[in-house]
Structure 1
Amino acid sequence: MGADVAERGRGGAVLVAALTVDSVGNGLFLPLSLVYFLRLTDVPLSLLGVLLSAATVLTLPVPLWAGALADRVGALPVVVAAQLLQAAGYLAYAWVRGPVGVFVAAALVAVGVRFFWSTVFTAVADYADSSPGAWTRDTWYAVSNGARTAGLAAGGLVTGVVVADGRAGTYRAVAYAAAACFALAAVLIAACVRTPAATDRPVALRRGGYATLARDRPFLALTGLNTVFALSSMMLGLALPTVMLTDVRGPAWLTSTVLAGNAFLVALLSASVGTRLPRHRRTRAIAAAAVLWAAWGLAMATVGPGRLATVAVLLAAATLLFTAAELVHAPASAALAAAAAPVAARGRYLAAFQYSFAVASLVAPAFFATLYEAHDAAPWLALALLNAAGAAGVLALERHLPPAALREPSRAAPARADADAPTR
């Protein structure tokens, strides 16, 4: 896994910092979504929904292009370009007035987001392979996940305070701040982070394109199974506000507290969990996360009206199960996908892997709403069943994946006392 000394990566700490800044930008705007355009334009809500959905659908082919670019020119330049696209989109947000402007600005952001998520995991893997410290891919993915979660929470908290006055100028200030975050993240990565060049890989290994991936049935199965886990990871933020409003009928602050507590624990514990994951097979870790999500689903199926203290304790206990699953699944699944991919085609493989999240994001609202309308417990019981099946599926798939992808031994730390520092 290690790189030659001449090919050592540098700037690991800056990479993590840049991903945090990037997530602050996302967090700043995430709570606004439709509200921003409702406040600053005359476009009706129904048309806004169509325009934003159309902008998202436009991005569905992006991972195919992004993966090929990452293999050809390297993932870092694509990540930087994606962040600059998002910066341009948020700058445009501050000036849009009509439907065309809304669509163009939203499309810029959506395309940038899709390029980013299609290549950032390859960028982290490229750095992890060439980093001088003892951290494995699992640890780097865990730390990156914690940093992104912390950034999202910080950005969302700032926006919640700033937009309370509801003034148009304040909304535009948030758009400018988000644009600045993405631009700063791009500059940090471009100036300070280095990984081995993609052109250093043998040309023969860079051929084959997606045809080779399409014949890799174990990897396609892994991607399909991950759709279940991606769906589960989205369900807390998507469903909890509705459950609290229509079923529990509890105070809004309880929802905010649960979501904030989840984000805080992920940010706090990601590094610690990431340093322990390499001791275990990644498939077993993912299966354990699925079992935890199944238990969370069963716990959520019991939530209903009752004494506030009882409901709060039940929600807190259930959310701890969700958080534990998230802490384990995020780095283990990304590291397994990266390790199962041929190094020279890793960009294409990890971009294709992101379709599991894209499909989950499209399915999640309809999945929850349709089942919840049938019965309050139905979506949670369905999630529990899906995760139980997913855990069994991952364990069955284990023997078909490359043995070297299942577990990555911790690196031996270099002799120098500062060798474990994440940057050099």
Structure 2
Amino acid sequence: MKAFWAALPREGRWLLSTVAIQTLGRGLTLPFTLIYLHEVRGFDLGLAGTLMALVAVTGFLVTGPSGALTDKYGARAVLIVGIVSMVAGNLLLAYATTPAAAAVALVLIGLNFGVSWPAFNALIAAVVTGPLRQTYFGINFALVNLGIGVGGIVGGLWADVDRPGTFTAIFIGDAITGLVPLFLLLGPLRHVSGRAEASDDEVATPAVGYLAILREPTVRWLTALTFVATFIGYGQHEAGFPGYARAAAEVSTRTVGLSFAINTAVIVLLQFTVLSRITGRRRTRVIVVMAAIWAAAWALLGVGGLVPGGAIATSAVLGFMAVFALGETLLQPTVPAMTNDLATDRTRGRYNALTAAAFQGGAIAGPVAAGLLLHRGLGSTYIVIMVLGCVAIAAMARRLEWHVSDVANGVRTEPALTGEGRPA
């Protein structure tokens, strides 16, 4: 860790040192937004769920344009717009008493989600290069989980449906934490645009569109892999996993809540160790190992459904989240690093936007599929589909390996760069 920190450029240190603070605000509100809309503002559950969906749908719709804008105007400019939108959305939601006001607020928050991934990853790639990228993305993931986890604990202790002002406070808190990255972008990082200057040859060349990028076999396989990994992974966190744990394994809500805490703890505790083990190894092989770990996790959860309501079911649910988290520590450093090693400085925003769109698509489709299966009592079928999804991820990773270069696959490095893509 000392060697990594010493090798980071000053801009990378600024970005990394504030991640947990930035995401703490998200943790304050993430578990409680639906509760706030339904129990505090009095919207029925159907309306509240529809309003919540606006975040994901808006994020998905703006991802493509945001990637192109990132390449044209720079990651810093796009991030500033996204952060201002998020701050405004949270402040509006804190005082929203009508569905219309809540809808506008959630659209603003969704706008930030849609632009922040491609722009933030492009900004990271502009200041952190070579093998450091993979380590950076892994540590960033651990710190994001730490911030959200701590925020969730604080929000759980503070928020009280009998005191509506406590919910107003947590949304204001989320808005305030958004001022931290805004300060960085307007202050210490104001010189980092995240936009590469075009050479004379590039100026004369037509801009590369999304269809042209998707014609590359490497990009197609990586995008498909990201979608499936999200569909059977993060797309199940808020719906499929809790639904199966309650309906099939018949565990308590306290157990479900504890499992999420275990998930966060495993990521924070193991990410550094995992990074040291996977550095220099083929990222495609790392993804295959991740798929095997996730398959074991889903099989373990399935055991809970076979013997519901007892200690075995409880252990299966808690064990699922622990094993699943281990797989997450393998996935999160590899896909973003591969994406940015595939891209050029001029196309980084669009490459990251494709990955973000695949992630958001999987996050939207995952809960829908889980809801349909679990509603019909098809718990065993649900587990089988999740395991088969893991097999598909492993197969796609192996196919991806046929096309991806050694540099993008993490086993050969390019000459060191500094700043925004300039040779050292």
Distance of 1:337 and 1:230 partners within structure 2:
16
The answer as to 2:296 corresponding to 1:295 is: yes
Which residue type is aligned with residue 286 of structure 1?
Answer: I
Contact kept, 8 Å, 2:74 with 2:194, in 1: the verdict is yes
Alpha-carbon offset, residue 40 of structure 1? 4.2
**Aligned match of 1:200:** 197
**Aligned match of 1:389:** 392
Alpha-carbon offset, residue 126 of structure 1? 1.7
Task: Note the alpha carbon deviations across 1:327-352, whole angstroms, 9 max, x for none.
Answer: 00111111111112233201101111
Please say which of residues 380-389 and 158-167 is displaced more in the overlay. Answer: 158-167
Task: Note the alpha carbon deviations across 1:241-274, whole angstroms, 9 max, x for none.
Answer: 2233222222322222221011011122223322
Alpha-carbon offset, residue 80 of structure 1? 3.0
Task: Note the alpha carbon deviations across 1:294-313, whole angstroms, 9 max, x for none.
Answer: 12222222213457433333
**1:139 is matched with which residue: 135, 139, 157?**
135
Distance of 1:120 and 1:138 partners within structure 2:
15
Which residue type is aligned with residue 404 of structure 1?
Answer: V
**Aligned match of 1:70:** 70
Q: Would the alpha carbon gap of residues 195 and 271 (structure 1) be closer, same or farther in structure 2, given more than 3 Å must change?
A: farther
The answer as to 2:381 corresponding to 1:378 is: yes
Contact kept, 8 Å, 1:118 with 1:351, in 2: the verdict is yes
Contact kept, 8 Å, 1:9 with 1:196, in 2: the verdict is no
Q: Would the alpha carbon gap of residues 316 and 203 (structure 1) be closer, same or farther in structure 2, given more than 3 Å must change?
A: farther
- Unaligned runs of at least 5 residues, structure 2: 1-7, 417-424
Contact kept, 8 Å, 2:24 with 2:177, in 1: the verdict is yes
Distance of 2:377 and 2:49 partners within structure 1:
25
**Aligned match of 2:181:** 185
Alpha-carbon offset, residue 9 of structure 1? 4.7
Q: Would the alpha carbon gap of residues 16 and 166 (structure 1) be closer, same or farther in structure 2, given more than 3 Å must change?
A: farther
Q: Any residues of structure 2 matched to 1:159-174 within 5 Å, and which?
A: 159-164=155-160, 166-174=162-170
Distance of 2:360 and 2:31 partners within structure 1:
20
Task: Note the alpha carbon deviations across 1:275-330, whole angstroms, 9 max, x for none.
Answer: 33222101111111111111222222221345743333333443332111100011
Contact kept, 8 Å, 1:136 with 1:278, in 2: the verdict is no
Q: Would the alpha carbon gap of residues 396 and 135 (structure 1) be closer, same or farther in structure 2, given more than 3 Å must change?
A: closer
Distance of 1:116 and 1:267 partners within structure 2:
22
**Aligned match of 1:365:** 367
Distance of 1:116 and 1:179 partners within structure 2:
15
Distance of 2:412 and 2:105 partners within structure 1:
45
Which residue type is aligned with residue 322 of structure 1?
Answer: F
**Aligned match of 2:151:** 155
SS at match of 2:95: coil
Task: Note the alpha carbon deviations across 1:159-193, whole angstroms, 9 max, x for none.
Answer: 11101363111111111111001122321343223
Which residue type is aligned with residue 118 of structure 1?
Answer: P
Contact kept, 8 Å, 2:20 with 2:143, in 1: the verdict is yes
TM-score normalised over the length of structure 2: 0.87
**Aligned match of 1:251:** 252
**Aligned match of 2:3:** none
Contact kept, 8 Å, 1:138 with 1:277, in 2: the verdict is no
Please say which of residues 359-368 and 307-316 is displaced more in the overlay. Answer: 307-316
Distance of 1:203 and 1:358 partners within structure 2:
36
**2:410 is matched with which residue: 392, 407, 410?**
407
Please say which of residues 241-250 and 395-404 is displaced more in the overlay. Answer: 241-250
SS at match of 1:164: coil
Alpha-carbon offset, residue 215 of structure 1? 2.1
Which residue type is aligned with residue 69 of structure 1?
Answer: L
SS at match of 1:154: helix
Alpha-carbon offset, residue 87 of structure 1? 0.8
Contact kept, 8 Å, 2:117 with 2:352, in 1: the verdict is no
Alignment identity in percent?
23
**Aligned match of 2:47:** 47
Q: Would the alpha carbon gap of residues 191 and 29 (structure 1) be closer, same or farther in structure 2, given more than 3 Å must change?
A: same
Contact kept, 8 Å, 1:42 with 1:98, in 2: the verdict is no
Distance of 2:45 and 2:318 partners within structure 1:
35
Task: Note the alpha carbon deviations across 1:368-413, whole angstroms, 9 max, x for none.
Answer: 1222334222212111111112201211221112332111557999
- Unaligned runs of at least 5 residues, structure 1: 1-7, 414-424
Which residue type is aligned with residue 142 of structure 1?
Answer: G
Q: Any residues of structure 2 matched to 1:215-226 within 5 Å, and which?
A: 215-226=215-226
Q: How many residues align?
A: 403
Please say which of residues 378-387 and 236-245 is displaced more in the overlay. Answer: 236-245
Distance of 1:83 and 1:368 partners within structure 2:
32
Q: Would the alpha carbon gap of residues 358 and 236 (structure 1) be closer, same or farther in structure 2, given more than 3 Å must change?
A: closer
**Aligned match of 2:341:** 339
Distance of 2:200 and 2:274 partners within structure 1:
37
Task: Note the alpha carbon deviations across 1:58-113, whole angstroms, 9 max, x for none.
Answer: 44331122111221232233223212211111011122222221111111111111
The answer as to 2:271 corresponding to 1:270 is: yes
Q: Would the alpha carbon gap of residues 315 and 333 (structure 1) be closer, same or farther in structure 2, given more than 3 Å must change?
A: same
Distance of 2:333 and 2:200 partners within structure 1:
30
SS at match of 1:81: helix
SS at match of 2:316: helix
Distance of 1:142 and 1:405 partners within structure 2:
16
